[in-house]
Amino acid sequence: MMRQDPSEKAMNRMEKFVDAYCNKSGTFKHPNPDVTEAVVKGLAHHVDTLGRPLCPCRFYPDKEEEIKHRTWICACDDMQIYKYCHCLLFVNEEGLPITEYLPEDHEGRVMHGLVKDSVPDKGRPLRDKAEEREVERRERPS
Amino acid sequence: MIPPLVRYLNRVNFRTTKPLLQVGERTMALEITDANFEQEVLQSDKPVLVDFWAAWCGPCLAIAPMIDELATEMEGTAKVGKVDIDNNPTVAVNYGIRAIPTLLIFNNGEVAEQLVGGTVRKGDLADKLNNLAGVTA
């Protein structure tokens, strides 16, 4: 099945969002623009079809059900709490996802090891929600 | 110790590598679907690596060239296939896929290993498949 490209309006919205969120969070776009373009297209597609920029780097058995939660709406909880983007949309200057703030047993930490945050004074606006996030991760794996 | 994915990403010069796969582009890896999963994976007499991916997933596309190389190199010893989760949700649901890419290695119809996010290098994946196939180095 061929996928329909997202609308220009949704693409523009997400491209502007990504640029703005990089500045706000002290992160960078991936050095390979194809990686960024793929993710932006996925987000824009979800804006067109679901009305929300649901993360395209996960599988959801029921997307309509998932968007009732804000967990994986970009910028997702992992990004706003831990400054970690599994999708590689918001990364450090070397193109690696920041894992410094993740719990030791988080799959991102296991996968990438320790990747330090070079701009620690920016981002993580929901850092005080980490405990709630870990409860959700156990009780509602998604 | 530097984790495998970091080593892999550090080796790749993202500015000069070939373009990532485009939507609909054919790959060397076997296309596995809800319809052929039973035959191609569960009934396979060889170990099977299955990459669960999606077209608009950046890390999935970043590891795609490595998966294709592995498919070519393992031909005759093991199968390497890809499941597009957007078009084949049944398999993804049945195996509890969440973050993608997720790599599952099947042997004799059972999951022998699960790796999330392309956590190992091509050589490590080849070693796992060779071990399951009974191939000695």
Segment B47-91, tens digit of pLDDT: 999 999 999 998 898 889 999 999 999 999 999 999 999 999 999
A99 to chain B: closest CA residue: B6
B20:A3 CB<8 A: no
ipTM reported for the complex surpasses 0.90:
no
Q: Give the C-alpha distances (Å, rounded to integers) separating B94 from A32, A129, B51, B85, B111.
A: 33, 31, 15, 12, 12
Q: How far is CA B6 from the centre of its chain?
A: 18
CB A32 within 8 A of CB B17: yes
B22 to chain A: closest CA residue: A38
Kindly report, residue by residue over B8-21, the tens digit of the pLDDT.
Answer: 444 444 433 444 55
Give me the helix-helix angle, B58-73 and A33-50, nearest 10°: 120
Collect all residues of chain A within an 8 Å Cβ-Cβ radius of residue B85.
Answer: 59
- Neighbouring CB atoms inside 10 A of A46's CB total 24
Task: Choose the weakest-confidence range: A48-57, A60-69, A96-105, B118-127.
Answer: B118-127
**pLDDT computed for residue B8 by the predictor:** 45
A42:B56 CB<8 A: yes
Instruction: Give the domain ranges of chain A.
Output: 8-139
Can you tell me the distance from the alpha carbon of A10 to that of A53, in angstroms, rounded to the nearest whole number? 9
Kindly report, residue by residue over A23-62, the tens digit of the pLDDT.
Answer: 999 999 999 898 899 999 999 999 999 999 999 999 999 9
Q: Assign domain A8-139 to its CATH superfamily.
A: Ferredoxin thioredoxin reductase catalytic beta subunit (3.90.460.10)
B61 is catalytic: no
pTM: 0.84
Which residues are bridge partners to B52 per DSSP? B83, B102
Can you tell me the distance from the alpha carbon of A8 to that of A11, in angstroms, rounded to the nearest whole number? 5
Instruction: Give the domain ranges of chain B.
Output: 28-133
Can you tell me the distance from the alpha carbon of A142 to that of B115, in angstroms, rounded to the nearest whole number? 17
User: Which residues, 6 or more positions from A2, have their beta carbon under 8 angstroms from its beta carbon?
Assistant: B23, B24
Q: Assign domain B28-133 to its CATH superfamily.
A: Glutaredoxin (3.40.30.10)
Q: How confident is the model at residue A111 (pLDDT cuts 50, 70, 90)?
A: confident
A94 to chain B: closest CA residue: B10
A112 CA: distance to closest CA in chain B (Å): 6
Q: What angle do CA B53, B58, A108 make, to 5 degrees?
A: 85
A119 CA: distance to closest CA in chain B (Å): 20
B20 CA: distance to closest CA in chain A (Å): 7
Interface test with B, best of A59, A93, A99, A107 (most B CBs within 10 A): A59
Between B103 and B17, the more confident residue is B103
B28-43: average pLDDT = 96
Mean pLDDT of chain B: 83
